[in-house]
Amino acid sequence: PKYVQQVQVTCHGELEVMIHPDGVVPVLTFLRDHTNAQFKSMADLTAVDVPTRTNRFEIVYNLLSLQFNSRIRVKTYTDELTPVDSSVSVHKAANWYEREVWDMYGVFGYVEVRYDDELKRVVAEPVQLAQEFRKLDLSSPWEAFPAHRSEPESPKLEPGETK
């Protein structure tokens, strides 16, 4: 209850819990370990960018309880500068998902992405482009043949004629 800010059941009967960003690890640990929950499987972790909000990023954890055949969606929020604690200590499957979220929402421009063992996250480094961007002609090569889409005319036979 300390971190839970809102609980709702969606129109499809799915349980959603909105939590404070500081509560990611404690809430996910509780949902994994508590006897009446047992959400031991992380099905997905993703993010939603809503630029009109102050805390524009909504982090979404989709969990599955095989024991009770139920799902729960845990949501939290953050802005461009405030990090959210990693959930890898609770669910090992979160490792790749967190990297994807970082790549999608934390990397901008022309950059090279690599994993930094010291920072324990994906980092971006500027790339020096050795050549100008190519200007590609995106028109179809078939446009050179003006009649490539038109149906060939079938011969018209007058009544009584044979082919």
Q: Is the pLDDT of residue 53 over 80?
A: yes
Q: What is the pLDDT of residues 109-155, one digit of tens each?
A: 334 556 677 777 766 665 555 555 555 565 666 556 555 555 556 55
Nearby residues of 125 by Cβ (< 8 Å), 6 or more positions away: 111, 112, 114
Q: Is the pLDDT of residue 107 over 50?
A: no
pLDDT for residue 109: 35
Q: How far apart are CA 57 and CA 15, in angstroms?
A: 20
Task: Assess contact for 111 and 48: CB atoms under 8 A.
Answer: no
Residue 91: count of CB within 10 angstroms of its CB: 21
Nearby residues of 77 by Cβ (< 8 Å), 6 or more positions away: 18, 21, 53, 55, 57, 58, 59
Closest CA to 106 of 49, 21, 25, 60: 49
Q: Is the pLDDT of residue 91 over 90?
A: yes
Q: Is the pLDDT of residue 77 over 70?
A: yes
Taking residues 38-59, report their average pLDDT.
91
Per-residue confidence band for 79, with pLDDT thresholds at 50, 70 and 90: confident
pLDDT for residue 150: 57
pLDDT for residue 11: 84
Q: What is the pLDDT of residues 5-46, one digit of tens each?
A: 999 998 888 899 999 999 999 999 999 999 999 999 999 999
Q: Select 4-128's CATH number: 1.20.1250.20, 2.40.30.40, 3.30.460.80, 2.70.150.10.
A: 3.30.460.80
